[in-house]
Chain A
């Protein structure tokens, strides 16, 4: 009964907020429309809580919050400055690495076995790059310079491998079933969030330095590449992150369910509320996460809004809308682009670290470009590029339907194919393929929004 009422309320709000635009009437004041859009989202999550379970609803909410932060980061790059980042996956993965390096317990044996070798090879890598840059700057452009550079790099690689190979093997031999990596610093995992931002920012600086100032496509392709490489490193450098063996059991910033169930105050609280302690403990944990994530989201959102409405924000939009005239006004377009690109990537890195925190493990195999890069793009475009609230709403809407598309799709397929026989090959194929329908749906949403409502759900002011 309540669910039906909520559903009706949802639908009514949707009609009120979007219909005037569709039928060409004077639209509602922005504020009312925006509030009702967010209210719909809240109602939808509550409905999920009532129909499925509060555990599912809160898990959904947590990922919605993280997605919103990622979308905010991308909105800073694309919405403010028109920069195309197709490597969101890589920056998010760097956040995940930060979570491991900060919070996992150090493996003392592995440190003793190979940390020195890794350190030496790192220094050698830096030396090689410096030597190459030195040679490039100080030699006249000639065949000899090319050969020297080539020689420096090849010799550098060989020497690095000489130190790196044994060190890596030594580390990976230390208790390979559960460790076999250097481990982290054993610090609270919350610290990993800013550190993840720093990692992502550094990578973004490197890419931005190379690809910004050239034509716009280059940044897209360069970010696509760096993302693939970052994920390849995480997958294959077992000494760093255990590769595809995953690092699991990362510490949590919130209590564990089992501790809650054993503490008297919690059991009392649960019984007073008339709930099962086991069930409510996991709801409680998810609620703690939700509060933490909401705090981060609000901070990032507040900062983004401040930045957007400051002279800096106006300058960024001026650069985005007309680079040539902004340049003529004395704005350093490339430097500003670099700045905004790094800032956006930092936000994505923070969100990436939060995601790994929520999962409690780093699973490199889970970093898929379609899930981490293109889905975030759909969020930003659908929500309304250039508008922070839009990005947040987009994060909620897209993640909600990304998760709920599976049950909806299965139901839809079952209804469509219900006339066919149980063992009909086509029916089985269709039912098995519902998972791929999500990709198609997201692509279609992206194309439809881009075409018919390019300003998104909450347009830029």
Chain B
């Protein structure tokens, strides 16, 4: 019984949040890795693209809410998501047309693309703050919990409760669906195959008649879709604040690099590695240990490896370790 309690405790505070957070990071990292694979630069604007997509979704959510449209018990944001995606795709394609295409024609160095993406980041950030303001925005509605901690306790008679938020459930389900769709697209469709070919060997792909403009456009469309979904899910699960998306950039990059830049499978694995380490390292194990050991051995400290203030230091440490020991990442991405 004690063992079961300990397990439930860990699930409630580590397993479930980490799976949800990991899915969000994985979706973000997939976008970064895709752009890296096709356009060959690290897109610093990705965090703010997520914020932009989420912002449009929020605006539509408010509009729907004001008209009384809802899909209770699910949050209205899901209904608004397609509109967010459309606007985000439009925005991203516009930046590509205005900013990146010029450098692509010039065959500029990846570093120039990177700096240009910093400029785009600036502008996007400004646009988002200009439209929705720098503050926290609430847009979650509908049912909040799939399982409440109290209901779980009554159901099982255990001391520990397990709560499962709707936002977490939606995050995981959406992430799985999106990843399946993405892999189906990359592996089964003609466009997807041509994208992989382009990513593997650009010259060879061009020789075999693949249209680079189309490949790039599809890459941006997918990246914008992923970014909007990831941004909205993160906003639903935690809260929407433009600045947090800037801070998400680090764990997302870490996830993409841990998995190997350019490798979609790696990005997913990387997302979960980062999320689990971040939450496991900053979780206080006091209560967990108390369940497992005799009462006299109970620790008096929190048994927390690292304070939660440093949670993004974890992703940074992992990033450094990967750079030191396996620079191509777990799934051996590409190197320049």
Identify whether the interface residues of A are mostly helix, strand, loop, or mixed. Answer: helix
Known: A210-B320, A232-B310, A381-B115. A86 touches B129 (CB 8 A): no
How many residues on the A side are at the interface (Cβ–Cβ under 8 A)?
A: 48
Pairwise interchain contact A214-B323, C-beta atoms closer than 8 A: yes
Look across to chain B and name the residue whose beta carbon is closest to the beta carbon of A446. Answer: B119
Q: Are B305 and A218 in contact (CB under 8 A)?
A: no
Query: Which residues does chain B contribute within 8 Å of A377, judged by CB atoms?
Result: 115, 118
Asked if A3 CB lies within 8 Å of chain B CBs, one says no
For residue B213, CB closer than 8 A to chain A, the reply is: no
The verdict on A436 contacting chain B, using a C-beta distance below 8 Å, is yes
A453 within 8 A of B: no
A225 within 8 A of B: yes
B80 at the interface (CB under 8 A from A): no
A426 to chain B, nearest CB (A): 12
Cα–Cα distance between A158 and B303 once the two chains are bound (Å): 8
Q: Which of B126, B257, B305, B312 contacts A154 (CB 8 A)?
A: B305
In the assembled complex, which residues on chain A have CB atoms less than 8 Å from the CB atom of B129?
Answer: 433, 436, 439
* A441 CB contacts on chain B under 8 angstroms: 126
Which residue, B42, B134, B301, has most C-beta atoms of chain A within 10 A? Answer: B42
Specify the main secondary structure of chain B where it touches its partner: helix
Interface digits, A66-94 against B, CB 8 Å rule (1 contact, 0 not)? 00000000000000001010100000000
Give chain B residues whose Cβ lies under 8 Å from the Cβ of A161. Answer: 301, 304-305
Could you tell me which residues of chain A, from 202 to 228, have a CB within 8 Å of some CB in chain B?
210-211, 214-218, 220-222, 224-226, 228
Which B residues have a C-beta under 8 Å from some C-beta of A? 36, 41-42, 44, 99, 102, 109-112, 114-116, 118-127, 129-130, 133-134, 246-247, 249-250, 253-254, 257, 261, 301, 303-307, 309-310, 312-313, 315-316, 319-320, 323-324, 327, 335-336
The answer on a CB contact under 8 Å between A218 and B130 is no
Given contacts A228-B247, A232-B313, contact A451 B123 (CB under 8 A): no
**Chain B residues with Cβ under 8 A from A433's Cβ?**
129-130, 133
Most chain A CB within a 10 A radius of its CB, from B130, B250, B327: B130
Verify if A329 is at the interface (C-beta below 8 Å from B). no
A236 close to B307 (CB less than 8 A): yes
How many A-B pairs have beta carbons closer than 8 Å: the answer is 139
Asked if A374 CB lies within 8 Å of chain B CBs, one says yes
Do A217 and B301 touch (CB < 8 A)? no
* Contact assessment for A214 and B122 in the assembled complex, using a CB-CB cutoff below 8 Å: no
Which of A216, A225, A229, A438 contacts B110, CB < 8 Å? A216
Beta-carbon contact of A229 and B313 below 8 Å: yes
Enumerate chain A residues within 8 angstroms of B118, measured Cβ to Cβ: 86, 374, 377, 446
User: A217 near B323 (CB under 8 angstroms)?
Assistant: no
Asked if residues A446 and B110 are in contact (CB atoms below 8 Å), the reply is: no
Per the bound structure, the CA–CA distance linking A305 and B6 in Å amounts to 64
Beta-carbon nearest neighbor of B335 in chain A: A215
Question: What is the bound-complex CA distance between A207 and B111, given in angstroms?
Answer: 18
Residues of A within 8 A of B (CB): 82, 84, 86, 154, 157-158, 161-162, 165, 210-211, 214-218, 220-222, 224-226, 228-229, 232-233, 235-236, 369-370, 374, 377, 381, 432-433, 436-444, 446-447, 450-451
Given contacts A215-B335, A432-B133, 14 further A-B contacts (CB under 8 A): A161-B301, A210-B324, A216-B114, A217-B261, A218-B257, A221-B257, A225-B254, A229-B310, A229-B312, A232-B313, A443-B119, A443-B126, A446-B118, A447-B99
A437 to B128, CA, bound (A): 11
**Interface pairs (30), CB distance under 8 Å:** A84-B114, A158-B303, A210-B320, A215-B335, A216-B109, A216-B336, A217-B36, A217-B261, A218-B257, A220-B42, A221-B250, A221-B257, A222-B319, A224-B249, A224-B250, A224-B253, A225-B250, A228-B250, A232-B309, A236-B307, A374-B121, A433-B129, A436-B134, A439-B122, A440-B123, A440-B126, A443-B123, A443-B124, A447-B120, A450-B112
